[in-house]
Amino acid sequence: MAAPWEDVLRDRAAIQEAAAVAVDAALLQGVLMRTEGQPNASDVVNFAPFTLLPSPVPRALFEQAYAVQQDFNMLVDAISQNKEFLEHTLASTIKVDDFTAQLFRIYTQVLEEGLAQSVFLGINRSDYMFDSGVDGSPALKQIEINTIAASFGGLTSRTVAVHGQVLKVLGKPQEASRLLPNNPSRGLALGIAKAWELYGSPSAVVMFLVEEVQRNIFDQRCVENELWNRDIRVIRKRFRDVFEKGSLDEARRLYMDGQEVAVVYYREGYVPSNYNEQNWEARLLLERSRAVKCPDIATQLAGTKKVQQELSRPGTLERLLPGHAEAVSRIRATFAGLYSLDMGAEGDRAAAMAIADPDRFVLKPQREGGGNNLYGEELRQVLEKIRDSPQRTSYILMDKIKPRPAMNYLLRAHSPLQVSECISELGIFGVYVRQGSELVLSEAAGHLLRTKAVEHADGGVAAGVAVLDTPYLV
């Protein structure tokens, strides 16, 4: 799976010139992040890390990932409406995982009270790697689906121009012209705008719920600006603002600082560290409201690793998507091997199998965001410690995917320019809007390619491991 610029990788002078051009192009295009030293100030910024060159991606697998995205939209939406499935699937997890249990408590409380929300907005990102398999031919295998705060739809809209410029500087104008246009931020904004419109109050605002530390603000601003361009007013608030100033009226309309909120778009709230007692109170207030939550709590639960593992069981997809046999087969074709660690004979077998051969597997907790998974010796040690404890049910076990590496340069601020052996992960953004029982919008909204050096097992761009990239279809 070689790219047509292998010859250039050995020309040190050409690479150094191209890297200087690339950094300036990234700054010019707005591929930006705030600095670690001043994470809440925009008067000192730097370029977000990215690859010098686009990475080769098999065309057939890229097209397969796009083709299955609407099926995944439909699946996530179906799971979010299936209380019985969520209760059954998460029963063991909520006994040992406090975070999932707290989400589940809010979910049940809101259902018992009766949903005020009638319009539902899903923005997800399904992430894949290219497994080289036994015979060496690459296959598309899903790593996970992110149903909350799926990021980098904004910055990845701007990397195509940077990589196009680099290829031209390196004397590859024809290759530059083959890079695909990509603008997920427009697609995400389209979904938010549709939900806002269906909410039906032209004076209401869209609220971005954001973290206390906002290094990745420019990624969010790309989506935000698309909404402003549609004359939709956007406010940015944190959980503590909601706790202090949020209120519901008798119709359970949500108000912030006297402004009615039509859509709450979460860019926070996906890991335990995002919450304290006040923040949980704020989350409950938001969930009880009529505002369109992206995601509502049921959709966040649909993205848990335990649900991912349950979906791989024979017959589960058929029960969730009756009458959609072709969608089921397209979805199932992307699954890697997934194994339950529930208490009992099946879980015992999976634990023993992983302890005996830890390099074959990944141990995944119920967490979004990079940097949580366990591999190799660390996986073995953790599993040996918890193999006879119910604590093991807070994890799932997955086959380790083995992609074929390619050579590239990873550009980071204040880092030396050196060639690395790299692997990539492809994410496809999905957006859907449901009103009542009718799906009024469902589409694939663009893609994200992230690349990291092979020595880093886990972690994304925000975690400081992977960098932004552009696919070059081969």
Distance of CA 282 to the CA centre of its chain: 23
Chain position carrying tokens 């141990």: 363
Measured distance CA(462)–CA(457) in Å, rounded: 15
Distance of CA 57 to the CA centre of its chain: 19
DSSP-based three-state secondary structure for 429: strand
Measured distance CA(297)–CA(92) in Å, rounded: 19
Residue 56: cis peptide before it, omega within 30 degrees of 0: no
Chain position carrying tokens 């999976």: 350
Sign of CA dihedral 409, 413, 416, 421: negative
Q: 53: closest CA among 174, 169, 184, 219?
A: 169
Phi and psi (nearest 5°) for 301? -65, -30
Residues labelled as active-site residues: 125, 144, 146, 151, 305, 364, 368-369, 450
Measured distance CA(206)–CA(195) in Å, rounded: 10
Residue-wise over 174-201: b if at least 16 C-beta within 10 A, else e?
Answer: ebbeebeebbbbbbbbbbbbbbbbbbee
Measured distance CA(325)–CA(399) in Å, rounded: 25
Phi and psi (nearest 5°) for 215? -65, -35
Measured distance CA(193)–CA(185) in Å, rounded: 12
Phi and psi (nearest 5°) for 389? -110, 145
Angle, helix 217-228 to helix 184-199, in steps of 10 degrees: 50
Measured distance CA(260)–CA(296) in Å, rounded: 18
